[in-house]
Structure 1
Amino acid sequence: MHQLIASPYNGTFLVARPGARAGIQIPLALYEQLASLAESSGPLPVWLLDTARAAWGLELTGRPARTVLLVRPETRFGYGRATYEINKGCNFNCEHCYLAERKFEGLPWDGKVRLLELLRDAGVLWLQFTGGEPLIDRDFMDAYAFAHRSGMLIEILTNGSRLHRPDIIEMLRKLPPHKVTVSLYGATPDSFDSLTRRKGAFKLVERGLVAARKAGIALEMALIITKHNAHEAEAMRAFADRYGAKRTEYGAISPTYSGTPEPLAVQAPGFLDKSSVFKGCPAGHTFFHVDPHGLATMCKVGRENPVDLMTEGLDGLFRLPGIADAQMLRTGGCGGCQLSRTCRVCRPLAKAYQEAKAPLNTYCQHGNEEMLR
């Protein structure tokens, strides 16, 4: 199993180690040197041995290159990242969920293999498994192992309910992910179980976090602030800190991405996340989203005019930048807006709010007098 990955990435070349945050950028000449050694029984170059020792505490002296190094080839595409919604099914029933329907369906195993091969051949280095809840998919472990062995650095976006399972923990220990991001819906069973509408959910997630920390798996937490847990926001921060997890807070609840308003009912007043101005996004240009059926879109929000990778193959991705650019045009009441330079919401998400007939103060500066001053 490879210890290091050398790969093109958005016009640069990187050396990375699965499960480690640190990586290095290298020039084309050194990338080509590694490519020439990747299948050989010869030693690694001294500069890479020194780098591995300094960056990751990894001693590779005397190891044949082919046993520790995987070199990803250059491709015709500029896609370095992708998200794979392996299944929309979920074992929670969260009030705030952006999926209007959570049907347990998707590609059969041979289809998943072909899709992962397409993602690899598109140049995807960073891959996020998401859902629904990815860990409940019957093929998740096999899909994860396939992606890892293909030289992808993997993030799992999970509710954490299956993270305690010994088979999953053992796989993640042997094939370490870049990170596992667990959604935190409260600091107590009452708030957590209320939002997820699943009795015992909090205890399941705690078990998973304990197991992951014990196994040394890199953890992050997404703190989802709603009316059920806003009073526990500080306790949620402390909860994440106890597990040594980097944390990010999300206080803006969106409608479903198909434009229905139900999730907005759990918005907590005072926790709208409008801290940064939207300055553009490379969605559809350097990264993309794939749904359970192999339909590629600019992102999980902008799902218009999908590219069917299973029928079109990789050539369909050449159409994706144009599809993305069309969805970023300001329409539906946003065209000509004098506040567009300080808008906090991307156009596809604004469209979802508009289709849900959401109050302006849930997403737009025109609905908040203080922001207009």
Structure 2
Amino acid sequence: MTQSNPVIGADKSGLQYRNEDNEGKRALLTHHKGAEPPSYAEAGTLWLDDSAAPWLLKWYDGTGWIVQGALNTTAEEFTPFIGGAALGDASESVRGLVRRASNAEAEAGENTEKYITPAQLAEFGGGNFLESVSQGDLNTSVGDVSSSSVSTDFVFIGTLPGGQYGFGHTLLGTTSHIFETMISTDIAAETAKIRARRTNPAGSATITARQRYITASPPFDMGDGAVHGFLFLKLDAAGNILGHYLADVPPWGYNGPTVIRADKIDRKTGKKYRKILKPRSMEEYMDGAAPEYIHEEITQDIKNADMALIPHPFTLEDGETAVLVDPMDGRIEKLLQLQNAGEEIAAAIYDGYFRPDNAALARKGPPGVMQVALKVF
């Protein structure tokens, strides 16, 4: 026991003062170690209780003693206390230590109470946070692209909306006509464009190509909020409609070099991630580094990365222009619902039921493409 009041009273001889001073300092050095609390304790006093093993380090708050931790002199270990109990592993109901998951546990996605680091989240897809995109996460939609004048010479109708996620196309409005179509690829933009010509009878006619595709990464946001859909119109110098494109994805979404296919999905946030090769230099590979993959969140910047490369779906001749009908207009979503139900929206467009306004809207979007309001007659 090394307890002694470090406060020395008056009228002490030199030797007595020295002895009491030494005992008081020794008590401070040992945290007033003893089986009973020091009788002279004041608020803030530390006491090492050695009445049992392990020893307990306690702190006096002026009323009672608060256990700070346990000292195991055999194992030479100190265990902190929290909430009156030894600090252990945390759980949903108990505060405590949280251990880091191993790389193997993070990669396997084991359901544990261990935490993962941001680096593990990026490298292994977040364990039980991210799951592989299943067939149930994928939906399909249909998109139409049309031309009002297809004759016996091949003409470009437009870019198919599905790109690398698209299935085969069908032709609408061809009851009494025979057409040939072909798909050509723009190597620079990596776009799939459909061309068509009329083989019988002679003359020109309106044709609509419809494609079903996988909707891999909706919604799209060009800077003004999530859009309702994309209705592009091709106009001549007089404002007549020569072609249209209607889909829930822009032409740059699934065409172009940027991959926006989701490989993983965060079930908690709904965010989607793509698997990409971890950036390394050729020198690193030549020095023996192995290719590694990480999961990157598919942001709106990634979805719109090819916007400038494919700002609209048409091939324009002199005097022709492409406009984008206000994508924030909720009626575009209604048109898409009708289109997915089998309706041919092109017929209403060419019959004059819909017209684009002449005034430009202050919207963010593809460069060089004016955005206009939709007028219904």
Give the structure with higher Rg (CA).
2
Between Structure 1 and Structure 2, which shows a larger proportion of strand residues?
2
Between Structure 1 and Structure 2, which shows a larger proportion of helix residues?
1
Higher relative contact order (CA 8 A, sep 6+): 1
Tell me the TM-score normalised to structure 2 length.
0.21
